[in-house]
With several copies, the nearest count.
Chain A
Amino acid sequence: MLKTKVKPKTASKTTSKEKAELIELYRQMLLIRRFEEQCNVAYRQAKIGGYLHLYIGQEAVAVGFISQLQKQDRVVGHYRDHGYVLALGSDPKAVMAELLGKETGLCKGKGGSMHLYDRDKNFLGGYGIIGGMIGIATGVAFKQRYMQEDGVTLCFFGDGSMNAGLLHECFNMAGLWDLPVIYIVENNKYAMGTALEHHSSETNLAKRASVYGFPSKQIDGMDVLSVRAEAREVIKHVREKREPYFVEAITYRFVGHGAADITDPGSYRTKEELEEWKERDPLESLKAILVGDGVISESELQTMDDEIKAIVKEAARFADESADPPPDALFEDVLA
């Protein structure tokens, strides 16, 4: 079983600012978790159609990285993208409405789960084609360099993308032209039902990405504090040195590849493996630290959970009650 060797770090909880930040990390992960759970319900109710890929288990990666961004920075992701927009602060109502294909959705109901966009929150899209997001992110970073801005671009994708030719082409150009892009592979061990060792000739992905003239490293993607610490360093490096960086975040998804997945666990991974990883639940780990160190009490956490559940419920209600796009919308937005 491929598990990270990076040890979770404990937090320094000296200042009240730091305390608030820790709580905020937890709050964001919890929002994503509860939101995704609601999505699953809506999918079973056939309110959400098409493909639905949930982020449950991987919350620490998005939250840890995105917590370190500044407003001139940009984010691009693959189709498993709810976590990114929620961590960036998109309105859960507009996200849920998009998943239900409503006109009040982030993309007026035209994008759906795999194709969220939120320009105001610096999210330049979820992409349904493996590899696609890497090209887009590389171009966004190209613009940052071309205009001599100091922003950086985060690009999130899965281990399956390592085998897309486009990744190779873009990594080479990013290395050649020193683009301020941070490629983050969320290595959750499986591309759909194909295990890492069945799809990648080199299972150390940080090593695989090490030949394009820019640094790469492996990090523990299950521990949000560790992700945050690494993200801070990596983002600082890229912002200052103006060169790309590759990060392999070792993580795991606790749910099927897609909400429709009927072969999991069983056909390609075992129940035991899944259970073992669930013991490293990023929410549980942080909760243990927060409560153990007295940063927050169990009852405050309960209140937080209630609040978040209310937010998610409100998002579901909003989405339900929103109107479908009008027929004319079909022919709008084809050309700018």
Chain B
Amino acid sequence: MAQMNYRDAIRLALIEELDRDERVFLIGEDIGRYQGTFRVTEGLFDKYGPTRVIDAPISEPGFVSMAVGAAMEGLKPVVEMMTWSFGILAMDQIVNHAAKIYYKSGGACPVPMVIRGPAGPGKQLAAQHSHSLETWFAHSPGLKVVLPSTPADAKGLLKTAIHDNNPIIFMEHPQIYGVKGDVPEDPNFKIPFGVADVKREGNHATIVTYSRGVHLSLEAAKQLAEEGIEVEIVDLRTIAPIDMETVFRSVAKTHRAIVVHDDWRFAGFGAEIAAQVQEYAFDELDAPVLRVAGADVPMPYSRVLEKLAVPTEQDIAAAVKRALA
């Protein structure tokens, strides 16, 4: 175990995989000489050189689809999306190529690749750079979607992602790169997909969340605990595949559920959780499933407006109380 931040944990996973398998290579904008916009790949260009750590032109569709072709032939590309907002340009390559080639080839051509990078608001990056896109990807069959909240999860899940034989959407959060935690240094440490992690136990209400939402929820839980309300926090970690069993188990105990995410509320991923909980745990529910999510607006630049556009601890605490009322 070593203490390190989320950013360094991701880098450690990359280093271990670059060392383990020569077919693993990194590609993305400014990941090399510039050391990465969020410095996740710092030092790797010097260590592995331009063949393994490739500075790409500003051509997201181009280098993503190139990675797809390379993956079909057995390489293991790990693509950095400088931010997932730029992933919007590569939707066709991701959703209509990477995700479908295995199926349309009748199982002949797996596409083992990872696309990773930050997604989410909170840095005043305004309308065009603040997307959380997990809902779009989770909606599209053929992809796995990973959203780690802690350094250890980030490392363990990224390792699993690179070992997986499918296209993996790996979403980091710009606001938690600096968060610290214990991280296993064992290069065999991996966290399986589709296994939620209960980050806090409690009896009164279940919060279902992932990524930054976990940290917000833990904060809210502290406040609530002072008022005698004990929430259980289920960190999904991967939303495709999704571990609904853990959610249902928790709801069977608490009878209340609140979903928390940064992404827009309307037709957001919270709706899927709500729909499943009410469908499969209808009789367990003492109150409707509530959603605490991003406001349905393009992200404003203004600091004060941005704060209003994203979920806060207060919003979560208020929703929990509403569910308990």
Contacts and interface: CB of A to CB of B under 8 A. Distances in A.
B132 to A, nearest CB: 17
Interface residues of B, number: 72
Interface string A265-281: 00110000000000000
Contacts of B191: none
B104 A139 contact: no
Interface in B260-301: 295-298, 300-301
A142 B296 contact: no
A129 interface: yes
Listed residue (B70, B86, B144, B301) with the most chain A CB atoms within 10 angstroms of its CB: B301
A172 B298 contact: no
B102 A335 contact: yes
A194 B33 contact: yes
Given A110-B106, A119-B108, A51 B125 contact: yes
Given A111-B126, A172-B62, A194-B30, A334 B102 contact: yes
A89 interface: no
B252 to A, nearest CB: 28
Contacts of B37: 192
B39 to A, nearest CB: 9
Interface stretch (A6-14, A230-238, A286-294, A323-331): A323-331
Listed residue (B37, B105, B308) with the most chain A CB atoms within 10 angstroms of its CB: B105
B314 interface: no
A293 to B, nearest CB: 42
A192 B30 contact: yes
B232 interface: no
Contacts of A169: 57, 59, 61-63
A172 B308 contact: no
Nearest to A329: B305
B8 interface: no
Given A267-B35, A333-B103, A50 B71 contact: no
B55 interface: yes
A107 B62 contact: no
Interface string B288-325: 00000001111011111100110000000000000000
Contacts of A132: 65, 92-93, 96-97, 128
Interface string A193-219: 111001110000000000000000000
A138 B128 contact: no
Interface stretch (B72-80, B149-157, B175-183, B218-226): B72-80
A139 B69 contact: yes
Nearest to A194: B55
Q: By DSSP majority rule, is chain A's interface helix, strand, loop, or mixed? A: mixed
Given A109-B305, A193-B34, A335-B102, A138 B69 contact: yes
A106 B105 CA distance: 8
Contact of B72 (A124, A193, A267): A124
A315 B139 CA distance: 38
B123 A49 contact: yes
A194 B69 contact: no
A127 B126 CA distance: 11
Contact of B301 (A50, A140, A143, A331): A50
Interface in A91-136: 101-102, 105-115, 117-119, 124-125, 127-132, 134-136
B54 to A, nearest CB: 8
A63 B305 CA distance: 34
Contacts of B105: 107, 110-111, 115, 117, 125
Listed residue (B25, B62, B64, B303) with the most chain A CB atoms within 10 angstroms of its CB: B62
Interface string B121-161: 00111111100000000000110100000000000000000
Listed residue (B72, B112, B297) with the most chain A CB atoms within 10 angstroms of its CB: B72
A192 B102 contact: no
B29 interface: yes
Contacts of B129: 50-51, 114, 128
A242 to B, nearest CB: 14
A125 B109 contact: yes
Contacts of A129: 85-86, 89, 92, 96-97, 128
A229 interface: no
B67 interface: yes
A163 interface: yes
A311 interface: no
B270 to A, nearest CB: 19
A117 B57 contact: no
B206 interface: no
Interface string B89-125: 1001100110001111111111110000000000111
Given A50-B301, A107-B106, A117-B109, A173 B62 contact: yes
Nearest to A176: B57
A135 B33 contact: no
B56 interface: yes
Contact of B104 (A107, A130, A135, A194): A107
A139 B71 contact: yes
8 contacts: A49-B301, A110-B126, A111-B105, A143-B74, A166-B93, A193-B30, A194-B30, A335-B102
Interface of B: 25, 29-30, 32-35, 37, 51, 55-59, 61-75, 85-86, 89, 92-93, 96-97, 101-112, 123-129, 141-142, 144, 165-166, 295-298, 300-305, 308-309
Given A135-B65, A327-B305, 9 more contacts: A112-B124, A112-B302, A132-B97, A136-B97, A164-B59, A173-B66, A194-B32, A324-B304, A336-B166
